[in-house]
Chains A and B, each alone.
Chain A
């Protein structure tokens, strides 16, 4: 029996496949960058690189939270863009009332936790996550529209100004936040009990429940995490121009879902990697930046982005099936 115990650490068939996905994705990003530089030297400047990373950071941060939802077997949320918008607006409204930045953020985060918890609770009672989050998103959009009358709200604060445009070691704050959230998401999924339980409820909810896991609690936490990630993006977005905007968050959910799927996270749950979702976000941002430099129209850009998503996701699916087991 001792020899069989020894073998456990030696045989790791699934790991090689996970690595393959990562390498494929990284290769895609590198190829895109190389090709881009070849045809357009302006693309390869450090300044443009940072711009790409900053753009990737916005949907990337949210994608870190959204990965939890997908891994837990609840597909995705269609409320994250509106949650980001709501967070920015709510913070700006509170600051306009005279609250200091720290307090405004704290109150806003409490509200966002509640927003996530309520969605998670409703979904854990058996509601469809897509419909629930679609409704929640509309609710938040309506609420923000009602309080602001549809107007952007200016924020006057040096701290906020710095958060939006500051740099540490020459790298924008958003990019730092992105890197930190990737590390945290990776650590939570792989190293904590909560992360493992998230994978378990995504792999088979009934078995997870029958094994004594508190499925509702995990589901609620997952939606809280995703909402907090969205709120973080909302703060950065508002801080960048020192005003909270009510419009312009329509494409967030699409970019986030695309990043998660390109990262090879199984839409049915139980499998996925925040790290690869982050690479997915970088890939999309690189692609879009390049097409922007080429001054292609937004229709063409969307078309090509869509085509890449279908191609990569279908590629993962076929590769996964051929390997079997």
Chain B
């Protein structure tokens, strides 16, 4: 290590910008990191956190701006350069390889010695790194797939240490962990900082920030605000820094009148939702379910849609009960459509034309008697295109070639063909730029006004508060409360989904 004292600035970034096509992900971001500190990097989804992390990791080259390492100008832009700058990143998704041993995972980047490779030599080399992350007890030759998620996360971090990096970036290391495991990861982060590492800690769990971070940098819409000391902040102030742009123009008006009950679920449990769930939504209503990834908000929609197995409880649509353990086609037949959160995975056929995507849930409708009817396909494509304002001249273009917003309009619009009574949408605007967002909100409101009942799940608080007529907040598989979004502040909602205990106190 270089001979610096604690508190020296090890990393400094000024005016970092990065655009993807028309989307400006980072707009002149400033960032600094001192030796031996934990810097929390906060911001909403889409604020630019992951882009900044990827710039540091060398996965994206910045369009402009300068970076200094230990005060000397340094240009990032490839993983190799980041490595040379002594930066190491633990990605959000675990990248440990289950079939390999702990030691092999730690040295994936290269064997740490010359000469013949033996298990024992590798294990010896791995042991200090395992100890550094608090896995003293672990046999380095244990296969990683036999370990708990938290232990795998710790091994991932041990791998960062083995690269000899001084600057460690942890991207939501606790997102998939339970409480006791979170404690282990947090304790280790503090220990590493004391040992002189500088740590950038990205998280959605704001409580953690107050426990382990020294300073906070907040990003909003691709812009940074100067770092602040955690000791000067409160939860409310942090939330205020994260949120706060004019939302009025973004969102349509609320429901003026509600109809009969469209969907009612009682005591529903699924493998992902062990606690019984109740829910009710009326015709013409947009119900928002606020929750972080893994909070159960998406699992709730999947239960209704028949995408997950329902183990207990009952679901009724327009007064008619679903059969037990209903399937997705069955739910569709009863007028329930489900637009998933990951459109690339299971929302669109990226390689097929727009028109084919649009007709995919309505195959029966466009092929009476089993024979494809071109006229019907064209009519349905035109109908959906005009309803969702999809450019009709692109009906034969591959969906994958369209912008995120247009892809999402196809993923949503294709469900109109089955004339759903209940529309379930998970993360309605993930990966969608601001303009198209407002458009999608407008479409959802219009569909509700035409008599649909809409339930959407979202981790974006602005979206939930701006769009929903009624909000259910969820935290770790339970519904925290049902609120009127016009009568609560957004930071109350954020607290509900990140930290409901504090509120009770």
Closest A residue, CB atoms, query B393: A7
Return the contact of A11 from the options B349, B360, B385, B395 (Cβ within 8 A). Answer: B395
Q: Are B346 and A193 in contact (CB under 8 A)?
A: no
What is the total number of residues of chain B having a CB less than 8 Å from a CB of chain A? 40
Of B226-234, B366-374, B430-438, the stretch lying at the interface with chain A is B366-374
Q: Are B346 and A212 in contact (CB under 8 A)?
A: no
Which residues of the other chain, B, contact A206 by a CB distance below 8 angstroms?
345-346
Which residues of the other chain, A, contact B378 by a CB distance below 8 angstroms?
5, 8-9
Which residues of the other chain, B, contact A4 by a CB distance below 8 angstroms?
382, 385-386, 391-393
Q: How far is the CB of A277 from chain B (nearest CB, A)?
A: 19
Which residues of the other chain, A, contact B307 by a CB distance below 8 angstroms?
210
Q: How far is the CB of A31 from chain B (nearest CB, A)?
A: 31
Q: What 7 A-B pairs come out closest when comparing CB atoms? A: A4-B392, A5-B382, A193-B367, A206-B346, A1-B386, A7-B393, A8-B395
**Could you pull out 21 A-B pairs where Cβ atoms are within 8 angstroms?**
A4-B386, A6-B392, A9-B378, A11-B396, A11-B397, A12-B396, A191-B371, A192-B367, A193-B363, A195-B372, A204-B350, A207-B349, A209-B328, A209-B346, A210-B338, A211-B361, A270-B349, A270-B351, A270-B352, A271-B351, A325-B401
Q: Is the C-beta of A248 less than 8 angstroms from some C-beta in chain B?
A: no
Known contacts A204-B349, A211-B414: A5-B392 contact under CB 8 Å: yes
A310, B361: Cα distance in complex, Å: 38
Proximity bits, B347-362, A CB within 8 Å = 1, else 0: 1111111011000110
Q: Is the C-beta of A194 less than 8 angstroms from some C-beta in chain B?
A: yes
Q: Is the C-beta of B332 less than 8 angstroms from some C-beta in chain A?
A: yes
Q: How far is the CB of A153 from chain B (nearest CB, A)?
A: 39
Q: Are A212 and B361 in contact (CB under 8 A)?
A: yes
A116, B338: Cα distance in complex, Å: 33
Q: Is the C-beta of A13 less than 8 angstroms from some C-beta in chain B?
A: yes
A199, B372: Cα distance in complex, Å: 13
Q: How large is the interface on A (under 10, 10 to 19, 20 to 34, 35 or more residues)?
A: 35 or more
Proximity bits, B275-309, A CB within 8 Å = 1, else 0: 00000000000000000000000000000000100
Return the contact of A194 from the options B346, B355, B370 (Cβ within 8 A). Answer: B370
Q: Chain A interface secondary structure, helix, strand, loop or mixed? A: helix
Which residues of the other chain, A, contact B329 by a CB distance below 8 angstroms?
212, 214
Which residues of the other chain, B, contact A10 by a CB distance below 8 angstroms?
393
Q: Is the C-beta of A197 less than 8 angstroms from some C-beta in chain B?
A: yes
Which residues of the other chain, A, contact B350 by a CB distance below 8 angstroms?
204
Known: A4-B391, A191-B371. 11 other contacts (CB 8 A): A5-B382, A5-B386, A8-B378, A11-B394, A11-B397, A192-B370, A193-B372, A204-B348, A206-B345, A211-B414, A325-B398
Q: Is the C-beta of A213 less than 8 angstroms from some C-beta in chain B?
A: yes
Q: How far is the CB of B318 from chain A (nearest CB, A)?
A: 19
Return the contact of A5 from the options B347, B370, B385 (Cβ within 8 A). Answer: B385
Known contacts A4-B391, A270-B349: A208-B360 contact under CB 8 Å: yes
Q: Is the C-beta of B473 less than 8 angstroms from some C-beta in chain A?
A: no
Q: Is the C-beta of B340 less than 8 angstroms from some C-beta in chain A?
A: yes
Which residues of the other chain, B, contact A1 by a CB distance below 8 angstroms?
382, 385-386, 392
Q: How far is the CB of B375 from chain A (nearest CB, A)?
A: 11
Known contacts A8-B382, A11-B396: A211-B351 contact under CB 8 Å: no
Q: How far is the CB of B196 from chain A (nearest CB, A)?
A: 46
Which residues of the other chain, B, contact A195 by a CB distance below 8 angstroms?
372
Q: Are A213 and B363 in contact (CB under 8 A)?
A: yes
Q: Are B355 and A8 in contact (CB under 8 A)?
A: yes
Which residues of the other chain, B, contact A26 by a CB distance below 8 angstroms?
none
Q: How far is the CB of A317 from chain B (nearest CB, A)?
A: 14
A79, B370: Cα distance in complex, Å: 29
Q: Is the C-beta of B67 less than 8 angstroms from some C-beta in chain A?
A: no
Closest A residue, CB atoms, query B415: A211
Known contacts A5-B382, A5-B385, A325-B401: A213-B360 contact under CB 8 Å: yes
Known contacts A4-B391, A210-B347, A270-B352: A196-B363 contact under CB 8 Å: yes
Which residues of the other chain, A, contact B349 by a CB distance below 8 angstroms?
200, 203-204, 207-208, 270
Which residues of the other chain, B, contact A211 by a CB distance below 8 angstroms?
360-361, 414
Q: Are B356 and A191 in contact (CB under 8 A)?
A: no
Which residues of the other chain, A, contact B372 by a CB distance below 8 angstroms?
190-193, 195-196
Q: Is the C-beta of B381 less than 8 angstroms from some C-beta in chain A?
A: yes
Known contacts A192-B371, A210-B340: A8-B393 contact under CB 8 Å: yes
A309, B397: Cα distance in complex, Å: 30
In chain A, residues 169-200, which have Cβ atoms closer than 8 Å to a Cβ of chain B?
Answer: 190-197, 199-200
